Structure formats: structure tokens, C-alpha cells
Amino acid sequence: MFRILALALLGSLAVTPVFADTDDQRWAGNIEMNGFKLDTFEDFASKWNLVTVRYRVDSGEFRFTYANPLAEKHLRAGKTDYPDGAVFAKVSYVLSNDPIFTSSMTPEKVQRYQLMVKNKKKFGATDGWGYALFNANGKTYPGEPQAVSMACAACHKIAAERGGVFSSPIEPLRHYFNDKKPSAEKRVQSRAYAPKFEAMKVEQLPKDLRDLLPKDMKTVRSLQGDLRKNIFQGTLDEVRPFLAAESLRSGAPAILLSQEGLRFSIVYQAQGTTGGCSFGGDRKGLSMISILTLQKASPFSEDTAYISTDGDSSLSKKQEFCFVQEP
Ligand code: HEC
């Protein structure tokens, strides 16, 4: 089992229209999702503890995760049965170099806010967590809320054995200052819910997609499970490291194809090159191609350049990126 170290987008190769938009713009711009507003938990960042920080190699973002006291207590105890009322709030920042010391990256501006609120009864369909996603201005993105929530839950199922929560707590300084021994990190490591791949014939793929692929490809590895049923734009972007790892392992392209066959994210090794690329100085990676469907103004893609031939939002993008994995 290898761990993905880094993924960097090296630039767009081409942008091709592919499929009709299935998303619904009219859900964008609201201040409420699933009954939550960003200020439902007003000023959470100064009231709750920061429980962990993550750096995302796929998006190059910092993620700061705060937990209300109830959620934090359970997280630190290594418990996974989060009670009703537990809340996690995650803030994503884009980074920029500090001009006076450029190897030091600083969180520059908020990109989006995400909430997870436990209520087993109300949010039974999404494993007891109510999900909410807002842009930097506290407004919702396109997408019918229940469908987006299902997409959130589908990926958070990967962390089912941590109660649907990815975060593991970092040690709070408070332990040091109170002269207490820090508790050992309790991270549930089980991979029972690891996404599985199955072989699929290229003929089974939608025609528009086949036309974009190199002609000699015969089979692909298709990611199975709930992620196929519930997809939103973030899923297609974020799943690329998984797909890259599977593609390299199997030698075939790896795809996440939505159940109805309209939306996808596919990754395969770049052909006609030596395959090598350098990632951040000395680290060597492999050149991979990513093609995924896009939607205009969809979450996580505010900075993407779009080309639309028909004036609406049926798009896909093809990019080359450098993928680094641990042996
Ligand atoms: C493709 C996978 C994926 C999808 C889809 C996804 N998440 Fe997450 N989520 C993660 C990962 C991985 C983390 C760990 C922190 C990080 O890497 O940003 C996380 C962390 C979080 C956290 C902090 C608590 C925790 O689990 O660590 C919140 C809150 C959250 N996500 C909300 C959402 C919401 C709301 C949605 C849907 C709009 C969503 N997530 C969709 C993968 C996903």
C-alpha cells in the first residue's frame, strides 16, 4: 500500500466540451444549507479549539479544522460514536509566498467553509452528519443540497471507522502549559472502507469520453462504491490522487464514473514522454493526464479557466500533472 505524497497541476493542455450540465445553478448564492448558515456557529474560530491542520497536496490549500467542545472531547478520546450536537467546521485557505521570505507560504485568503453537524435522526440519510458548504462570502455553491450532502457523505464514508471524521487531533499546547502529559494520538487506521476498483472495458465508457482517450486503451479501472452514486465537483478533483495511484499500480487508466455515466474523472500515465517530471525541486514524479467534467461556478474551481463552446456549462478539462508517490 503506498501513500500519496504529492500532486501538482502543471498546466492545462486542452479544454473540451463533453457533457450536458446536470447541476442546478439556482441553489447557488443562498446563505443557508441544510438549515445551517455560516453564522449559525458565529465566530467559531475564536470560540472553539483548532483540532488539526491539513495541507492538501491536490489543491495546494491549508485546511484548518475546528471542533465544538462536544466534538473535540470525542475526537480526543478516540471515540467514533459522535453524539448529536457535535460540530466540526473546516476553513480552507489558498496560499501565497511571503514576499520577504518566499519559501514561507502563508494562508492568504479563505476559499470556503465547511460544516459537519451531528444529528442522527435529522441526517440519517447522510450517516447522521448534516453537511454545509459555503464560499468565502458565506454563500452556497450550485447543486441541490441533498445531492451535495450525499456527495459529502459518500467520501466521508472512507473515514467510517473514525465516525465519518477524517481529522485526528494534533496535540493542544494547553497540555504542555498545564504540565500534563499529552495523550497519545489515536488514529483509527482501518482501511475496511478503502475504495475498490474493478476492471471495465473501454467500450462501456460514454462515447464522448472514449473520443478523448488514446486509441490503444482497452480496459480501465473503475472506482466502485458510493462515490459513483454521489458526485460533486470537489469529488472529481479530489479523487485524482487515488486514481493516479491505481493507474500506476495497474498500468491502466483509472476512472471515477458517475452511476448515470455523465460525469467522470479519469487519470492515466502520460504517453510519449519518459514519464518523469520534477515536483518541487529534487522530488521526482510521474507525468499523468487528468480529464474531468466541469461545471461552471461549481465548488472548488473558482480559479479554473473555462472554455465553453456552446455558451452553457457543459465542459471538461484535460490537464497534465506531476504525481509523486511513496514506494
Ligand atoms: C472526495 C472526498 C471528500 C468530499 C467529497 C468531502 N470531503 Fe470533507 N473531508 C475530506 C478530507 C480528506 C478531509 C480531511 C481534511 C482535508 O484534507 O481537508 C475532510 C474534512 C472535512 C471536515 C473536517 C472534519 C473531518 O472530517 O476531518 C469537514 C467539516 C468537512 N470535510 C465537510 C465536508 C462537506 C460539507 C462536504 C461536502 C460539501 C465534504 N466535506 C466533502 C474529504 C472529502
pTM exceeding 0.85: no
- Cα–Cα distance measured from residue 198 to residue 202, given in angstroms and rounded to the nearest whole number: 12
Q: Where are the domains of the chain?
A: 4-23+195-325, 25-177
Residue whose C-alpha cell is 488514446:
214
- Pick the atom of ligand 1 nearest to 116's CA: 29
Instruction: Quote the ligand 1 centre to 248 CA distance (angstroms).
Output: 25
Whose CA is closest to 57, among 295, 326, 318? 326
- Cα–Cα distance measured from residue 114 to residue 111, given in angstroms and rounded to the nearest whole number: 10
Residue 253 confidence (pLDDT): 94
Residue 6 confidence (pLDDT): 36
Residues in the ligand 1 pocket, defined by CB under 6 Å = 54, 56, 63, 65, 88, 90, 114-116, 131-133, 148, 151-152, 155-156, 165-167, 234-235, 238-239
Pocket test for ligand 1, best of 144, 155, 263 (most atoms within 8 A of CB): 155
* pLDDT by 10s per residue, the chain, length 327: 333 333 444 333 333 333 334 557 788 899 999 999 999 999 999 999 999 999 988 788 999 999 999 999 999 888 999 999 999 999 999 998 888 888 888 999 999 999 999 999 999 999 999 999 999 999 999 889 999 999 999 999 989 989 999 998 886 655 555 555 545 455 555 455 567 899 999 998 877 788 778 888 899 999 998 888 888 878 888 889 889 999 999 999 999 998 888 788 999 998 766 657 876 667 788 889 988 887 654 443 444 433 333 334 456 777 888 888 765
Pocket test for ligand 1, best of 75, 114, 167 (most atoms within 8 A of CB): 114
- Pick the atom of ligand 1 nearest to 164's CA: 26
Closest residue CA from atom 12 of ligand 1: 166
Q: Which three cell numbers stand for residue 289?
A: 493526464
The count of other CB atoms within 10 Å of the CB of residue 323 is: 28
Whose CA is closest to 72, among 191, 183, 194? 183
Residue range 25-177 forms a domain whose CATH class is: alpha beta
- Cα–Cα distance measured from residue 327 to residue 325, given in angstroms and rounded to the nearest whole number: 6
C-alpha distances (whole Å) from 225 to each of 193, 205, 214, 301, 308 are 9, 17, 27, 25, 31
Q: Which three cell numbers stand for residue 80?
A: 467514533
- Cα–Cα distance measured from residue 93 to residue 135, given in angstroms and rounded to the nearest whole number: 11
